[in-house]
Amino acid sequence: MKLKKATFAAGCFWGVEAAFRKIDGVVSTAVGYTGGKTDYPTYKQVCTDATGHAEAVEVAYDPTKVSYPELLDAFWSCHDPTTLNRQGPDFGTQYRSAIFVADEEQKKLADASLKEVEDSGVFKRKIVTQIVDGAKFYPAEDYHQQYFEKKGMAESCHVGVANVHTKLAERAVHERNSGKTQAAATQPAADCGDSCGTSHWKMSDAELRAKLTPEQYAIARQAGTERAFSGKYWDEHRSGIYRCAVCGQELFSSEAKFESGTGWPSFYAPINKGAVIENTDDSHGMRRTEVLCSRCQSHLGHVFDDGPRPTGLRYCMNSAVLDLKVGENKEKVGSVK
């Protein structure tokens, strides 16, 4: 068996490594630093953002069991490739999204995969992933290797926002499994799973239009806004959990809800830091921070810095894309982190 290697950067390397280790055909992984200017950097040096290195994962894989295009699908699926130098709460160039290609064949496939994913529209914003020539890979300190396995912890530091399965990968699976049925060959080859924070929720546009009301669709998929004081939850006082009306993910606790006087339901924090994604929104001649459901990437509203203690934030949401489950999971009410 002749192994091949692939190197990816997609945010905190603990979660990225955990995602790739779940893939059949991946023989071994190592986390480390690459793409910078400092020889043999330490984690402390990389964290200064001065070395130029990215936190990366080097994957050794058996090409008879998994292809490079399938690994690319896993890469797109286990992080948000539209956030520049940031993944969730981690920010800095060490957390950039990058594919470090080893040769012309990898570059060709990476370019084709990126174009297909970009054209598919599965990600709402432009992909900022770099495709660059591979550089020397410096393994990270031992305590970083297979971090979650050593700690016996759930892989909770990573948040993906889409389940990507390209035709490029589908063809590679079919070629490898030419003796199998096409139905089997078209199954997604790599899935980070809920355990690494990635839900891989996906519905087609037609399915969404059938599921949602016109108002819900306009808000969730076209970043619309309901009229103030018109939504069903702006003056809601019952206890419970507010879920995403599109995919059902838990978003806010009623314990974090407050009267903002704006005419929209307002919360000082999401139910946990992984429930939402925040992105810069420069539309309508303003600079605001858009809030999305981290599971299905539906637009929820915006967050402002004029809220009450303890956060000082106001998550101004649209009622139409929320679904209050009254009294649901009462032990979670008040568990805002």
User: pLDDT (tens digit, 9 = 90+) per residue, 18-44?
Assistant: 999 989 999 999 999 999 999 999 999
Sign of CA dihedral 85, 128, 83, 33: negative
pLDDT at residue 327, as a whole number: 85
Do both 222 and 108 map to the same domain? no
Do both 154 and 58 map to the same domain? yes
Global confidence as pTM: 0.56
Residue 181 has pLDDT above 60, yes or no: no
Q: What is the DSSP letter of 226?
A: P
| Domain end residue (candidates: 160, 179, 196) | 196
Residue 173 has pLDDT above 90, yes or no: no
Do both 17 and 48 map to the same domain? yes
Indicate the number of domains in the chain: 2
Residue 12 designated active-site:
yes
12, 192, 244, 293: the active-site residue: 12
What is the Cα–Cα distance from 34 to 42, expressed in whole angstroms?
12
pLDDT band at 151 (very low <50, low <70, confident <90, very high): confident
| Domain end residue (candidates: 196, 226, 257) | 196
- Within a domain: 237: yes
Q: Average the pLDDT over 160-176 and give the result.
A: 85
pLDDT at residue 211, as a whole number: 92
196, 244, 296, 316: the active-site residue: 316
- Within a domain: 337: no
Do both 173 and 275 map to the same domain? no
pLDDT at residue 192, as a whole number: 41
In which domain, by residue range, is 214 found?
A: 205-332
Do both 142 and 11 map to the same domain? yes
Do both 98 and 215 map to the same domain? no
Do both 43 and 191 map to the same domain? yes
Residue 334 has pLDDT above 50, yes or no: no
Q: Average the pLDDT over 55-84 and give the result.
A: 94
pLDDT at residue 153, as a whole number: 61
Residue 293 designated active-site:
no
Name residue 20's beta-bridge partners: none
Q: Cβ of 89: how many Cβ atoms within 10 Å?
A: 12
Do both 70 and 151 map to the same domain? yes
Q: Average the pLDDT over 58-69 and give the result.
A: 95
The contacts of residue 121 (CB under 8 Å, 6+ apart) are: none
| Domain end residue (candidates: 176, 196, 216) | 196
Q: For the domain that residue 177 is a member of, what is the CATH number?
A: 3.30.1060.10
Q: Which amino acid is at 120?
A: S
